[in-house]
Amino acid sequence: METLNAPDTARGEMTRIGKSVAIKGEVSCGEDLYIDGQVEGTIDPKGNRLIIGPNGSVKANINARAVIVQGKLEGTIHASDRVDLKQSATVVGDITTQRISIEEGAHLKGSVNVQKEAPKKGGPGGIALSPSEAAQPEKR
């Protein structure tokens, strides 16, 4: 049985895309996702973690809880928790997250937007309402 060198696999729920696999289109799953192959399109692990391995080559827009990049990524990253760019990472694109770490040697070309907290879901137009505002719909 193969052991993944990806961190935090204690839950045992991880989908793996091997280095011989190439995918074009939308990739979504309900568990952590490890990509060591080629993916082009959209990646949404439904609030879980995405790991791009050292052989991974990704051209995609990503929406995940956490993203760890060891390989190559071209596209936007939206991570509700954190983004980690490892020493071997090459990223071209914009990053939006709460926390970010960039190891020495990693390459990043794009913008980084660090938010204090994840956007709250709620009122109209994505605007977060206070509990008193939410209780009084006539003021909206």
- What is the reported pLDDT for 11? 55
Q: Is residue 107 part of a domain?
A: yes
Q: Give, for 134, the enclosing helix (H) or strand (E).
A: helix 131-134
Residue 135 phi, psi (nearest 5) = -75, -15
Q: Is residue 9 part of a domain?
A: no
Report the distance separating Cα 51 and Cα 73, nearest Å.
Answer: 11
Q: Is residue 87 part of a domain?
A: yes
Domain of 53 in residue numbering reads as 14-139
The number of domains in the chain is 1
Q: Write the pLDDT tens digit of every residue in 30-51.
A: 999 999 999 999 999 999 999 9
Would the pLDDT of 119 be above 50? yes
Structure tokens at 59: 């051209």
- Taking a C-beta distance cutoff of 8 angstroms, is the pair 21, 42 a contact? no
Would the pLDDT of 127 be above 50? no
Q: Is residue 7 part of a domain?
A: no
Q: Is residue 133 part of a domain?
A: yes
Q: Write the pLDDT tens digit of every residue in 50-107.
A: 999 999 999 999 999 999 999 999 999 999 999 999 999 999 999 999 999 999 999 9
Distances (CA, A) of 95 to 56, 63, 85, 106: 18, 10, 11, 14
